[in-house]
Amino acid sequence: MATSFSATLPLHGSQENRLLLPPIRLAPPPSSFLGFTRSLTIPSSRRLYHAHAARRSPVVGVQEVVKEKKVTNSLLITKEEGLVLYEDMILGRSFEDMCAQMYYRGKMFGFVHLYNGQEAVSTGFIKLLTQSDSVVSTYRDHVHALSKGVSARAVMSELFGKVTGCCRGQGGSMHMFSKEHNMLGGFAFIGEGIPVATGAAFTSKYKREVLKQDCEDVTVAFFGDGTCNNGQFYECLNMAALYKLPIIFVVENNLWAIGMSHLRSTSDPEIWKKGPAFGMPGVHVDGMDVLKVREVAKEAVTRARRGEGPTLVECETYRFRGHSLADPDELRDAAEKAKYAARDPITALKKYLVENKLASEGELKTIEKKIDELVEEAVEFADASPQPGRSQLLENVFADPKGFGIGPDGRYRCEDPKFTQGTAQV
Amino acid sequence: MASLLSRFCRKLALPGSAHGSRMTSTTACGSETVKSLNLYSAINQALHIALETDPRSYVFGEDVGFGGVFRCTTGLAERFGKNRVFNTPLCEQGIVGFGIGLAAMGNRAVVEIQVADYIYPAFDQIVNEAAKFRYRSGNQFNCGGLTIRAPYGAVGHGGHYHSQSPEAFFCHVPGIKVVIPRSPREAKGLLLSSIRDPNPVVFFEPKWLYRQAVEEVPEHDYMIPLSQAEIIREGSDITLVGWGAQLTVMEQACLDAEKEGISCELIDLKTLLPWDKETVEASVKKTGRLLISHEAPITGGFGAEISATILERCFLKLEAPVSRVCGLDTPFPLVFEPFYMPTKNKASSSSSLSSPSKTHIF
């Protein structure tokens, strides 16, 4: 399933002036990206780092190759893997639908951004990671947290602002952190997480190469198409390639940045091309198909674990709901929405599992039921949890657990009643 | 506090809009038509007028094409065309820098930063370029045509990154002006003045009031002078100084104080940089007490500048220390917002306002 871009976009003047080469779609030689039947030990060629070298090789879009492979009848996943993927995507979808219900009932407030439709990207990448690998996300982070292993209870309580939430209610929807699962957060500000991810990746490389510890941790940074016009993105691509960091930059290109169409705001909308410009492979994949995403992710993660450096993966995906629950979603064409709704990743995986006799409808239904109960239980737990105490307001501003240190009278400053009135001397 | 403000912000209840004892320096002509508008509609009208009267003015920013996430730019793209009203990609630093370039070539650039919390990537361009352009080119170039509009302030559910008040950072930069309106009528006049002012202006709009505040706004083109504070309520016992949405809270505190016999004088600064020192000084010399209130955290907030200046000028006339009722020194919280905000109760119970008699010396 080729991308919608390649057919409709005019090539820019600068490209036309070049030689008669076809549009450059950097893909490594077939041997390394086809993963499953060929050996992965062939190191990714140094050619990948030099765009001019890549022009010499016949290039082929990754998804087309993967599609061919599917036709030659080798299954991409085992039954266990398939059920794990299915369960994760169903969890993401049910959780987000429950969030919408709770929001409209007034149980949570603030800005909530739902991930419906993009589950394949989160499941495809994060289910390949270990607990010690790090994930950095955006404000659309509930499902990334869930895929990484943060419990649905913790995420729901955080949304309700309760003290049992993963950040004790401090962060809310857009700031899901988990030390245990190495979820380095939700970031409300676009692009702010990418430098943080780059630094985290440096840590694992340092541990391995300088401290000689056994560390193969990678970092995956998720962000959207709008972020690809932001300076921080480019700065980090440069640093990651320069230092050869074990990081994967995953662009969830859902074509819309609130109300701004990606095609109208970017000079060259094919984001994967920006990878080779910085010296790393750039790959485009159909983000509505979890199996394709998983294949690309496997290769990218393996590259990173081997110490071969970063990868930029552009996933073409779509969000079924508006930008946030406050967005009336009037700007997007109904035909476009229908087109992507027909490519619902959950339906596609279900079809694949049933057709290839990996699972029966009954088994899948059991999973759905189990997830429904899990999500409902999460809501009950969140409802029953207490709100944070008022003193939590002043904690964690500084390292000192009580926030503002000790005042001249020997007591913690924040215990001074005048402090919370805003009129005490700090 | 949310219910407090929503009760308060119904029509005609804005500070200074329907009180008997006040002075006004707005130049609205009495016989012109007025219309009841909320804040975003008033800003929208101002932008329409600005683009109409100057063919070399442009409005751009994130999502302004369809009207903006707060609807301040509705109708502009349809009326003036995509060449003058256009969406930019998501890069605040690029957007403001681009605006500086346009302004340096003699155009008027009205830049929208979607939310003031996102203005920090552009901070470098504003401080290092916009503020210093005229100065370091020896007046050969200037970016006076630049106006940066950003919604600021708490909104009840904004959390860390949709509620900040960054005005203090910008007040520390010589070379730019910082303007904050308190109501729809003020916003329209001040925005037109800011756009036409020959200096770069950062214009913060209180986002809480976008829909909540409704006022009679004249439909014609009018400007309210910058750097002139307005006394919106006269009194003799204590001076209260504020700006933006905080004035509605302070007005409530004034009403409460009046029940206890304290007569309060409420001043809207309007322009924070350069601010009207004379008006505040004259008022404090009359009353002898000063209370400043703002949503931003107390340490290093703009209240500190006002306090220091007034102390220098009016030390011998002051009967009590200058009091500041501000946000706490924490990042803007999510669930704790009601505890963080400087509410009217905090203002009323502060040392200055709670003293019953004028002769009580601290």
- What is A79-384's CATH topology? Rossmann fold (3.40.50)
Domain boundaries along the sequence of chain A: 79-384
Q: Do A421 and B349 touch (CB under 8 A)?
A: yes
Reading across the β-sheet that carries B57-61, which strands appear in turn?
B85-87, B57-61, B108-112, B146-152, B201-206, B177-179, B271-273
Q: Do A188 and B159 touch (CB under 8 A)?
A: yes
Residue B169 to residue B275: CA distance in whole angstroms: 15
CB of B320 within 8 Å of any CB in chain A?
A: no
Residue B346 Cα distances to A346, B73, B257, B350, angstroms = 53, 36, 12, 6
**B230-353 shares the fold of B34-218:** yes
Could you give the residue numbers annotated as active site of B?
A: 92, 162
Q: Are A31 and A62 in contact (CB under 8 A)?
A: no
Q: Do B89 and A226 touch (CB under 8 A)?
A: yes
- What is B34-218's CATH topology? Rossmann fold (3.40.50)
- Of all residues in chain A, the one with the smallest CA distance to B347 is A421
Residue B75 has pLDDT above 90, yes or no: yes
Residue range B116-143: average pLDDT? 95
CB of B211 within 8 Å of any CB in chain A?
A: no
Q: Do A231 and B94 touch (CB under 8 A)?
A: yes
For A:215-274, CB contacts with B below 8 A are 226-227, 229-231, 257-260, 264-266
Task: Measure A164 CA to nearest chain B CA, in Å.
Answer: 13
Chain A residues whose beta carbon lies within 8 Å of the beta carbon of residue B336 = 388, 390, 392-393
Q: Do A422 and B342 touch (CB under 8 A)?
A: yes
Chain A residues whose beta carbon lies within 8 Å of the beta carbon of residue B156 = 109
How many CB pairs (< 8 A) connect A and B?
113
Residue A313 to residue B50: CA distance in whole angstroms: 44
Residue B73 has pLDDT above 80, yes or no: yes
Classify residue A268 by its DSSP letter. Answer: S
Q: Do B87 and A397 touch (CB under 8 A)?
A: no
CB of B325 within 8 Å of any CB in chain A?
A: yes
A393: nearest CB among B117, B340, B351: B340
At residue B348, the pLDDT reads 84
Q: Which residues of A45-59 are buried (b: 16+ CB within 10 A; e: fewer)?
A: bebbbebeebbeeeb
* Interface mutation vs chain A, best among B91, B292, B340, most A CBs within 10 Å: B91
B328: nearest CB among A227, A259, A422: A422
Residue B355 has pLDDT above 90, yes or no: no
Chain B residues whose beta carbon lies within 8 Å of the beta carbon of residue A259 = 63, 65-66, 69
Residue range B284-307: average pLDDT? 95
Q: For each of chain A's 426 residues, which pLDDT tens digit applies?
A: 333 333 333 333 333 343 444 444 444 444 333 323 333 333 444 434 444 444 444 444 444 444 444 444 578 889 999 999 999 999 999 999 999 999 999 888 788 999 999 999 999 999 999 999 999 999 999 999 999 999 999 999 999 999 999 998 888 899 999 999 999 989 999 999 999 999 999 999 999 999 999 899 999 999 999 999 999 999 999 999 999 999 999 999 999 988 889 999 999 999 999 999 999 999 999 999 999 999 999 999 999 999 999 999 999 999 999 999 888 888 889 999 999 999 999 999 999 999 999 999 999 999 999 999 999 999 999 999 999 887 777 777 877 666 666 666 766 666 666 665 555 444
How far from chain centre, in Å, is Cα B78? Answer: 29
B339: nearest CB among A109, A331, A420: A420
Q: Is the peptide bond before B274 cis (omega within 30 degrees of 0)?
A: yes
Class of the CATH domain delimited by B230-353 = alpha beta
Q: Do A231 and B323 touch (CB under 8 A)?
A: no
Q: What is the pLDDT confidence band of residue B315, given thresholds at 50, 70 and 90?
A: very high
At residue A374, the pLDDT reads 96
At residue B11, the pLDDT reads 39
Please write the tens of the pLDDT for every residue from B239-254.
Answer: 999 999 999 999 999 9
List, in sequence order, every beta strand (DSSP E) within A177-306. 219-224, 247-253, 256-257, 260-261, 282-286
Q: Which two tokens stand for residue A197?
A: 């991810």
Q: Do B350 and A421 touch (CB under 8 A)?
A: yes
Please write the tens of the pLDDT for every residue from B170-190.
Answer: 999 999 999 999 999 999 999
At residue B69, the pLDDT reads 92
With the CA atoms of B49, B50, B51 and B52 taken in that order, what torsion angle do they form, in degrees rounded to the nearest 10? 40
Question: What is the rounded average pLDDT for all residues in chain B?
Answer: 88
Q: Looking up tokens 């988990």, which residue turns up?
A: A178
Q: Are B342 and B325 in contact (CB under 8 A)?
A: yes
Please write the tens of the pLDDT for every residue from B152-163.
Answer: 999 988 889 999
Q: Do B91 and A404 touch (CB under 8 A)?
A: no
Q: What is B298-330 written as a DSSP string?
A: STTSHHHHHHHHHHHHHGGG-SS--EEEEE-SS
Chain B residues whose beta carbon lies within 8 Å of the beta carbon of residue A269 = none
Radius of gyration over every alpha carbon of chain A, rounded to an integer in angstroms:
23
Chain A residues whose beta carbon lies within 8 Å of the beta carbon of residue B333 = 170, 393
- Of all residues in chain A, the one with the smallest CA distance to B163 is A110
Chain B residues whose beta carbon lies within 8 Å of the beta carbon of residue A177 = none
Of the candidates B205, B72, B196, which has an alpha carbon nearest to the alpha carbon of residue B146?
B196
Domain boundaries along the sequence of chain B: 34-218, 230-353
At residue B22, the pLDDT reads 38
